[in-house]
Amino acid sequence: MASCGFGAKAMVDAWALVTSTLLFCLRLIPIWIQFVLLLLVAFIRRLSARLAKFSHVCRGYGGFGALGHSVYHRELLPRMVEGSWNGKIRHIATAGTHTAAITESGELYTWGRDQGDGRLGLGPNCGPNEGGGLSIPSKVKALPVPVAAVSCGGFFTMVLTQEGQLWNWGANSNYELGRGDKVGGWKPQPIPSLQDVRIIQIASGGYHSLALTDDGKVLSWGYGQHGQLGHSSIENQKIPAVIEALADEHVIYIACGGSSSAAITDNGKLYMWGNAKDSQLGVPGLPETQPLPVEVKFLMEDDGLGPHNVLSVAVGASHAMCLVSRSGC
């Protein structure tokens, strides 16, 4: 696991910190203690996975009803979200102040803040119930098809249907919806230019989005002033466009931060681009705005453990973290 970027506010998750500390200490302690620690970690992961199959829990800042607990204050400990859905929750997503969850049958539920931009997708008569937010998960009834994945942007929401089509709704002042205009709204609609393109993954930043096609191409659109679209400029992009700098790569995973983006290729390479002000792209010497994808190199390549392969990446507002597999481990 590797990380980079601004860290003064302890933005690295506590469990990630514990895990990385354990992995470092394993080399310094007797083998039997290593075995006990690994069993403990495996038990916690298995327990968490089993709980995730049956429930959806939230904790943290509860302003605008973002936690879905029918309250508007902070929650220090995880607590079950009691929604009206039937069956299990299989996918969740959050943004700054709104949240979404998909059931195993493909129904979408949203809650949290909606400032009139329609990001919750609930219609003109289903707005906030207190303080600018909706604290009770509500079904997005305007979606006519089952969905497989959801991504929450700063003021908009995007879903991927089970057939590989992309629908979105909400604010659109920076072309976040990719329809060629700045007309937003609460009603879910497909992106016209992508109706004949099969999408397999989606990701949203503050004001921009990425989509991964089934042939490994990356599309981007929306706000581009930090270079987060990867099109060699800082212009906004009105409709989804292929990132040509990655055209020779087969991308298998994408991620968005607030104003930066990332992609992983099928041979384990990591590319990042966008806002580099806080070194969140992991490449020394970059300008604050990096409009083209750059490959992230790792300082640990000379430690004798062999080459690395990046498996996953997560990007925050000012930092990033990736999961790396080493051939010598």
Q: What is the pLDDT of residue 206?
A: 96
Rg, Å, the chain Cα set: 20
Q: Which residues pair with 39 in a beta bridge?
A: none
Residue 267 has pLDDT above 90, yes or no: yes
Please check whether residue 59 is in contact with residue 76, taking contact to mean a CB–CB distance below 8 angstroms: yes
DSSP-assigned letters across all residues of 205-265: -SSEEEEEETTS-EEEEE--TTSTT-SSS---EEEEEE-GGGTTS-EEEEEE-SSEEEEEE
Query: Is pLDDT of 252 > 90?
Result: yes
Of the candidates 165, 218, 215, the residue with the CA atom closest to the CA atom of residue 193: 165
Backbone φ and ψ for 254, nearest 5 degrees, come out as: -130, 160
217's tokens:
């191409």
Beta-bridge partners for 295: 271
> Would you say residue 69 has pLDDT above 80?
no
- Number of separate domains in the chain: 1
Share of the chain above pLDDT 70, in %: 68
**pLDDT higher for 45 or 255?**
255
Mean pLDDT, the chain, rounded, equals 80
pLDDT tens, residue by residue, 222-238: 999 999 999 999 999 99
Confidence of residue 35 (pLDDT cuts 50, 70, 90): low
As a whole number of angstroms, the distance between CA 159 and CA 146 comes to 10
pLDDT tier at 86 (50, 70, 90 boundaries)?
confident
Residue 22: per-residue pLDDT: 41
Q: Residue 171's pLDDT is what?
A: 96
For 291, the domain range is: 2-326
**pLDDT band of 51, cuts 50, 70, 90:** very low
Per the CB < 8 A criterion, the answer to whether 120 and 101 are in contact is no
Beta bridge partners of 185: 170
Q: Please state which of the ranges 24-33, 79-88, 96-105, 319-328 shows the lowest mean pLDDT.
A: 24-33
Here the CATH number for the domain that contains residue 304 is: 2.130.10.30
